[in-house]
A and B are shown apart, each in its own frame.
Chain A
Amino acid sequence: MTVNVLSPGLLTTIQDMGRPGYYHLGIPIGGAMDRMALRCANLLVGNDENAAGLEAVFTGPELEFNGEATVAVTGAELPPKLDGEPMACWASFKVRAGQVLSFDYLRTGARAYIAISGGIDTPKSLGSRSTYAIGALGGIDGRALAAGDILPLGEATGGAEGREVPSELRRSPGNPAALRVLPGLYWHRITEASGERFFEETWKVAGEADRMGYRFQGGTPLEFIDREPPFGAGSDPSNITDACYPYGSIQVPGGTEPIVLHRDAVSGGGYFMIGTIIAADMDLIGQLQPHTQTRFIKTDMHGALAARKDRSRTLNAIREMLSE
């Protein structure tokens, strides 16, 4: 079975759960920015949770089906249409050969996930089908979808139409968005007052917000504690001897605009970091549009692990419900 890409949308990429194990060579884990949403889409159509689907940013693609399939769209509220007929988000529906899947305009969120029964079956690169465009890896020739592409699909193993993930089991970032942070890394480089202010102020997602990282604006520049620059770091107070960057780490070049690194992170560099977004909140970032008001919420390891448990309880509830 195959699907024809009639139009790709603004930026639609093939993503799965990523390629761990190569970060030490600068190749990031990649994969769906909102992992929970892709897992749900896959579960809805009867796929393995790690199967490859499509991640569509802001606008959807137009896809023509060459055979029968079950489809689900999750994540951002980007309502699907089948031959022009509106379909529900977060629910599975049947598509017949010859039908065209398109999308209405974006209501909320930033990234929609489209799962098709059987999963997208492009060749794996370093163990994953995820598109890492900077390194031209995965996807189709290492790039986003283009009109005329033909998506191969795997063998469908199940899945039924009319299944749904109820709204109480979906997470959204809130308004203002709340992202929990574990302070650390080079937190000691800024003054106490500056650190407190970072958490008190409301920030705003900047235009530079993509799979590599999200930039935030609108808060007060950070105040550094004086120091003698370490050899090799560079003279700016925000410079460090180039080091590895954790996923979710918050670097603040020049102390002005925080950048949160995401799934296609640069693996290292010379800017200090004040902490890290907890793993449970990484998915939420993938749904932030530019200009979204955002608060950073201070937490500790206990809070991070509790949030992790919460998230896995939700996922288990969804798994149980959809396996019935």
Chain B
Amino acid sequence: MTSRYSFGGDEHIFVEVSEDMSLEAFFKSLSITNAVRDAAIKGVTEICPANASFQIKFDPDIIHPDDLMTELKRIEETAEHAAAVLETRIIEIPVYYQDPWTNETLMRFRERHQDPNSTDIEYAAEINGFANVDEFIAAHSGSPWFVSMVGFVAGLPFLYQMVDRPRQIQVPKYLRPRTDTPKLTVGYGGCFSCIYSVRGAGGYQMFGITPMPIYDPEQEVTYLKDFMVFFKPGDIVKWKPITREEYDQAVADVETGRFMPRMKEVVFSLEEFNRDIDGTNAKLLEALNDR
């Protein structure tokens, strides 16, 4: 993997670690951005890891763009050799697939979709070779996912499926983005799943909705009292399909402060994962379900 460096105007350096998405590219981006943070370079104001790239914002009145570029390339050389091991957490996210709210929304934007005669999840199931939607949901919720980027809008996680490439789900984005997406929609675009943290525009296919808030500027939700954004890059997620009744109960529990996401601390090794994907995932899920 040879990284490509480019200036984004006079205040950003954009680094594409790889054109393709892969866990290797994500880990490299994460380890370089961690090293840049540790280096505490004067003039650097924002450090943004993304799926297979990252971006540094800086003040060119404090550090010359060329000097920062040189410094970043030097950091890349050392960070590249860091062991790809991550101390992180695995979180269970309940999902009410094929819910009425995303369904109502997708029906309003059919003319912007590849297949106006099916729903988003029916279309995704079909083009990925699943016999029916239930099989598709089983695949989507069967393996864990990596939060490989947080962004687009406040606190929105992009999630990357932790399976080998032939098994990865791929779905194109809408032909033209929608102007509306319900809050907490579980979406899909390219090889990424996402959760829309707020209501708004969006181009990802809509599969369902989670009752679990992931962004709370008022910081009233029990588990968001310390910080308003729930996710950070490197989190691991397991989707859990739920029914309408379970959804309603979870919404009520959030309201009364009784909802706590199920989560456990775990250590993830990229090398171990590559050696035995299903075995590593099984261990992660075991850790999650261990009471």
Contact = CB atoms under 8 A, between A and B. Distances in A.
Interface of A: 20-21, 23-27, 125, 132, 134-137, 142, 182, 184-185, 230-236, 239-244, 246-249, 253, 266-270, 273, 275-280, 301, 304-305, 308, 312
Interface string B216-231: 0100000000000100
Size category of the B interface is 35 or more
Interface of B: 6-12, 14, 16, 18-22, 45-55, 57, 60-61, 65-66, 149-156, 158, 165, 170, 172-173, 177, 189-192, 197-198, 200, 203, 215, 217, 229, 232
Contacts of B154: 25-27, 132, 134-135, 137
A304 B9 contact: yes
B9 A278 contact: yes
A268 B16 contact: no
Nearest to B6: A184
Contacts of B52: 232, 241, 243
A308 B60 contact: yes
Contacts of A27: 154-155, 229
Given A25-B154, A233-B19, A268-B149, A242 B60 contact: no
14 contacts: A21-B46, A23-B57, A135-B154, A185-B8, A230-B19, A232-B170, A232-B191, A241-B53, A244-B54, A244-B149, A247-B11, A268-B151, A270-B173, A275-B9
A246 B46 contact: no
A233 B8 contact: no
Contacts of B12: 246-247, 249, 276
Given A134-B198, A232-B191, A305-B10, A26 B60 contact: no
A26 B150 contact: yes
A242 B54 CA distance: 10
Contacts of A270: 173, 189-190, 203
The majority secondary structure among interface residues of chain A is mixed
Max count, chain B CB within 10 A of own CB: residue among A236, A247, A280:
A247
A173 to B, nearest CB: 17
